[in-house]
Chains A and B, each alone.
Chain A
Amino acid sequence: MSRVAVLLFASVGAVCAQDARQVMNEVQNRSKSNSQRYEGWLKVIDNKSKISEKRWTYDRLGSAGESKVVLRFTAPAEVKGVALLIVNHPERASDQWMWTPSLQRDRRIAFQDRSTRFFGTDFSFEDLEERDVNQYDYKMLGEEAVGGAPCWKIESRAKKTKSSQYSHVHLWVDKARYVFLRIESFKGDTLIRRIHYSDYQKIQNIWTPLSLEVEDVARKSKTVLKTEKLEYNVAMKEEMFTLQALRRE
């Protein structure tokens, strides 16, 4: 399950489960949609307060670790037209290709170090992978409020079959809506990243955060992501998510 995807597009349902895994299953279920489309706006603020911005359109087909995504950059001018095709797999790292219009070339993105930052943002490539809840072990740590909202605080650890840059992750799940409000990722005792989710709106019956902020604790930089014109279960064809389609547009 992609943490970002889940957190962006999670829906809320009335479930009374108290067990950590049951909570996480419910989070995944409530955020589930067959497809999704939105326009994204991203702002990276580095440790010297230098700001860079990017815009893109996002199309996803499928869910729960078996989705395909096409992301096309629309701004700034120097990256306009660059497109990414991401094919997520439930049991392994996603495959990614990039289309560069100025070269008229597509390339398979060679990242294998999943801790690498995603194109200058504070997300790592691993943060963007779609993962199924079953790939992790969960432990209920207790209850803690975030911004006044009561939450379950859950610890997740990747199963031995799954490698991760993080030793463990703390998740704060809103009890009322079954959505994430905060995530903190650790390497040992060191906090690496912190993600805040806000501006939740119910779109097509799915509670969706329209804004999130990622903080790279070591670099002291942060990335703000806002989504606009978000739709779920949009009619999309498989052919849209191929290398040929990537080259066409």
Chain B
Amino acid sequence: MILLRLLTMPYVRKHKLRTVLTIAGIALGVVIFVGMRTANDSVMYGFQQTVDRLAGKTHLQVSAGETGFPEEVLEKVQAVAEVDVAVPVIEAIVQTGIAGQGNLLLLGVDMTGDRSLREYDFEAGEEAVIDDPLVFLAQPDSIMITRDFATQNKLSTGDKLKLETIAGPKQFTIRGIMKPGGMASAFGGNLAVMDIYAAQFIFGRGRSFDRIDLTIKPDYTLEQGRLALEKALGGGLQVDSPSSRGKQFESIASIFSVGASLNSLFALLIGLFIIYNTFSIAVTQRRSEIGVLRSLGATRGQIRTLFLMESAALGLVGSLTGIFFGLLLARGMAQYLSSFFGELYGVTQRVEEISADPRVLGLAMFVGVFMSMLAAWVPARAASEVDPVKALHKGAYESFSDHESRMRLWAALTMCAVAAACWFGGGSRGVPLYAGYLSVIVAAVLLTPAAVRSLVAALRPFLRWVLPVEGALAADSLMQAPRRTSATVGAVMLSLSLVIGLGGVSTASYVSLIDWMNNVLNPDLFVGTSEQIAERSYRFPASFGDEIRKMDVVSEVQNVRTARVQFKGVPVMVVATDIAAVGRRVKPKVVAGERLEMNRLSAEGKGVILADNVALMTRTKLGDIVEIPSPGGIIRLPVVGVTIDYSDQKGAILMDRKVFIQYWQDDSVNLFRVYLKKGVGPEEGKKAVLQRFGGERKLFVMTNQQLRDYALKVTDQFFGLTYMQIFVAVLVAILGIVNSLTVSITDRRRELGVLQAVGGLRRQVRQAVWMEALSIGLVSVILGLALGAVMLFYYLGIIREEVAGIRLDYTYPVKIALILIPTMMAVALSAALGPAESAVRSSLVEALEYE
């Protein structure tokens, strides 16, 4: 503590800016880590909380993925001896159309039995609504809302509420207001309850239920109940606890979560470099003080502990700052993520509160402090090993010794060998893939000082050519202090490599997506139930397709039904359509099988076509017999083809519509693919469809171009991470370069003072600092773009083999690279403005007296 007070506090007081930058480095990593994790967790937590609040006393739920199942299943469930109470449920999201209110979670229940499972706590005087379900049930416009929703919208019992139904907008009568809390707080209080049969009508569900909630008799265990139900229902229906719905949602959104985790971990890694940089500099600058202390009897352990304690303290402050701003970031991101998940996965969630998981915050705190101490470990060890005699030799320590350089080179080569061994020996998935990825990063970090020295040496003639004196000064400064420079360059390099990696993934995704859209999405119009194409709450009756078909402007209509089911533990999308008709119009890219044959077989109901990513993720090959759960039992059909398909991020199983109708007993439709007659323009066709049906049905018509734009917009949102990472890279660059230059200028105060004393102009000093910053920026960009090329290779592998099964071509993101170069140069230059001014404005006398 004495050393901390004697050595650290004066240093901190003297270098306030650098201390702040160091804390900012830690905080930056923690902000991203906490912000992204908490936002993601909050959406998941919001979903789980809604599930829990709606579940009431429910022990188990019977479902068929999200497809629903015929009403008759209810009687089968109720007949199971172990079942106590079983009630049907329809759950869907509706747009309120009320400004600022967004979505309303609508629960369709059977009031005659539902109260056995759920607590409907009504406001005084309105108990008759629930106690006399006859009135409620007899009038299909009956709806109950929560007190929160009623208050926000100035609604009361007897008032009308307009909701979208499949048959167009309809007025509902509020016949009950639920007290706040418990079930009424589900979905942030934006909850409405109505009769299940009215809900069937509203959402076009025919005679099907979404799920059955049930309790098991006290004499039986849940497992006994589950087994009895599975036996009674066959394998096509899932019997799970309510909490498993949360897990399914997590599984659906896993690709995004993996990206968020990767991003946040990388941010922490970059923070580590900033801290390393700062402490390396601190050790360098305080070598003389350390030498004095060592001469006075301070032990090596004390010196090491001093630096580690210093880093722990900074880590603590940085972590706390990061947690605070991370939670603020999460608050802003959570709502965005929530609506984004709705667009991407068709699973809308309302996030009312931030779920600050103490474990995440604790982990962030631990990681922040640990990273800080880890980053300071090498400088601390170096500080403890300072030879008191050599301590006053300024600058000697800023370069690497030959031994250290050799060790670094050998270690880097070993890491490269490990990466190669992982790739060629261990295969391209699982642990070897990640081990190879980490080995490449470590190798790059180890090679950074050597690469910086070589690149700066190569740049020196160019710098001299641009500005002879200033250029030479800048290059020499960088070459003389590789330790100072390489940490900054390393941090920026890593950050940029992530941008290139993610940018490459997004570029390749766009290329593949556009290619797929050109091959498959060729109808003139798409008629759906919502502007969110992934939304599946509402469904059309099949007969509506016939009505569209009769229109003069229409040439052909193809019915499409999509629904998510569990296949080999993956929540994939079943796409049921008239394959013969679709096959005549589209030519998807075939990965396995023959196009005409796969169309023929699947159209005859003799097989299914798998999206390539499903095949990859579930290790399913052409000819394999797949088992798809359905309410009518397990469908066992061979895989007759594998094609590239991006209908859903988790992958799609394409089957003929008649197979779906046979097993699901459901002929409703999500989407109509409409081909117009020759000479009819898409806008003209859209207008005709809307004029004909707009007033009587809830429908949304997109032209081909609009659907493509929509798909690209959602993809843009998904890759929003890339843009966030660019922002992080910019921040890292600013922090690192300002830090490096500040130290560089401090170290060279005497040198710069002498330069001015012998006639050097302030302009020259300023430009020398600028050149140094631009050099750091350029070297960082060169190394970052190069490492990014390798990172992209690994990211594509991780996406293909571990995350999504999507086979993306390697396409270097040239455009992003071209944007990064001037951006980073501008950032470097702007980061140098402050330090440069500080250099030219310092007192010449003080500068000459320095040291």
Contacts and interface: CB of A to CB of B under 8 A. Distances in A.
A108 interface: yes
B197 A105 contact: yes
Nearest to B198: A103
A110 B132 contact: no
Given A103-B197, A107-B197, A110-B74, A119 B116 contact: no
Interface residues of B, number: 29
A223 B135 CA distance: 17
B75 A108 contact: yes
Interface residues of A, number: 26
Interface in A69-111: 73, 78-79, 81-82, 98, 100, 102-103, 105, 107-111
A113 B215 CA distance: 11
Contact of A79 (B86, B135, B201): B135
Contacts of A52: 128, 132
Given A52-B128, A100-B197, A107-B197, A79 B138 contact: yes
A139 interface: no
Interface stretch (B41-49, B107-115, B433-441, B693-701): B107-115
Given A102-B139, A110-B86, A120 B134 contact: yes
Contacts of B116: 111-113, 116
Contacts of B74: 108, 110
Nearest to B87: A110
A81 B135 CA distance: 12
A36 B614 CA distance: 64
A98 B112 contact: yes
A146 to B, nearest CB: 30
Contacts of A73: 134, 138
A102 B110 CA distance: 16
Interface in A30-62: 46, 48, 50, 52, 54
Interface of B is mostly: helix
A100 B84 CA distance: 26
A78 B75 CA distance: 29
Contacts of A113: 85, 113, 115-116
Nearest to A80: B138
Contacts of A116: 112-113, 115-116
A117 B197 contact: no
Interface of A is mostly: loop
Contact of A111 (B112, B140, B197): B112
Given A79-B138, A82-B137, A112 B132 contact: no
Contacts of B87: 110
Interface string B131-151: 111110111100000000000
A110 B112 contact: yes
A91 to B, nearest CB: 14
Contact of A117 (B131, B135, B138): B131
B134 A102 contact: no
A105 B88 CA distance: 15
Contacts of B480: none
Given A110-B87, A112-B84, A100 B132 contact: no
Interface string A100-140: 10110101111111001101100000000000000000000
Contacts of A110: 74, 78, 86-88, 110, 112-114
A100 B138 contact: yes
A108 B201 CA distance: 17
B201 A103 contact: yes
Contacts of B125: 48
A107 B115 CA distance: 17
Contacts of B86: 110, 112
A119 B113 contact: no
Contacts of A120: 128, 131-135
Of B110, B114, B116, B138, most A-chain CB atoms within 10 Å: B138
A82 B113 contact: no
Interface in B127-175: 127-128, 131-135, 137-140
Contacts of B135: 78-79, 120
B110 to A, nearest CB: 5
Contacts of A54: 134
Interface in A129-173: none
B124 to A, nearest CB: 9
B764 to A, nearest CB: 87
Contacts of A105: 197
Given A110-B86, A112-B84, A112-B113, A119 B140 contact: no
Contacts of A117: 131
Contacts of B84: 112
B697 to A, nearest CB: 19
Contact of B78 (A50, A100, A102, A112): A112
Contacts of A46: 127-128
A98 B131 contact: no
B435 to A, nearest CB: 56
Contact of B85 (A78, A79, A98, A112): A112
Nearest to B196: A107
A218 B137 CA distance: 26
B259 to A, nearest CB: 44
A82 B133 CA distance: 12
Of B78, B127, B134, most A-chain CB atoms within 10 Å: B134
Given A78-B135, A112-B84, A103 B112 contact: no
A61 B844 CA distance: 114
A82 B128 contact: no
B140 A100 contact: yes
A82 B88 contact: no
A109 B140 contact: no
B132 A107 contact: no
Nearest to B109: A110
A48 B125 CA distance: 9
A98 B136 CA distance: 13
Nearest to B114: A110
A82 B128 CA distance: 18
Contacts of A50: 128
Of B87, B137, B139, most A-chain CB atoms within 10 Å: B137
Contacts of B112: 98, 107, 109-111, 116
Of A50, A54, A98, A110, most B-chain CB atoms within 10 Å: A110
A144 to B, nearest CB: 33
A100 B137 contact: yes
Interface in B380-434: none
Interface string B341-357: 00000000000000000
B138 A82 contact: yes
A107 B86 CA distance: 14
A110 B139 CA distance: 18
Contacts of A111: 112-113, 116
Contacts of A108: 74-75
A73 B88 CA distance: 25
B134 A82 contact: yes
B215 to A, nearest CB: 9
Contacts of B140: 100, 102-103
In the A-B complex, list the 10 residue pairs whose CB atoms are closest, starting with the nearest: A120-B132, A110-B113, A113-B116, A119-B134, A79-B138, A109-B112, A112-B85, A120-B131, A82-B138, A110-B110
Interface of B: 74-75, 78, 84-88, 110, 112-116, 125, 127-128, 131-135, 137-140, 197-198, 201
Interface of A: 46, 48, 50, 52, 54, 73, 78-79, 81-82, 98, 100, 102-103, 105, 107-113, 116-117, 119-120
24 contacts: A46-B127, A46-B128, A48-B125, A50-B128, A52-B128, A52-B132, A73-B134, A82-B134, A82-B137, A100-B137, A107-B110, A110-B88, A110-B113, A110-B114, A111-B113, A111-B116, A112-B85, A112-B86, A112-B113, A112-B116, A116-B112, A116-B115, A120-B128, A120-B135
Given A111-B116, A116-B113, A120-B133, 19 more contacts: A46-B128, A52-B132, A78-B135, A78-B138, A82-B134, A100-B197, A102-B138, A103-B201, A105-B197, A109-B112, A110-B74, A110-B113, A111-B113, A112-B78, A112-B116, A116-B112, A117-B131, A119-B133, A120-B135
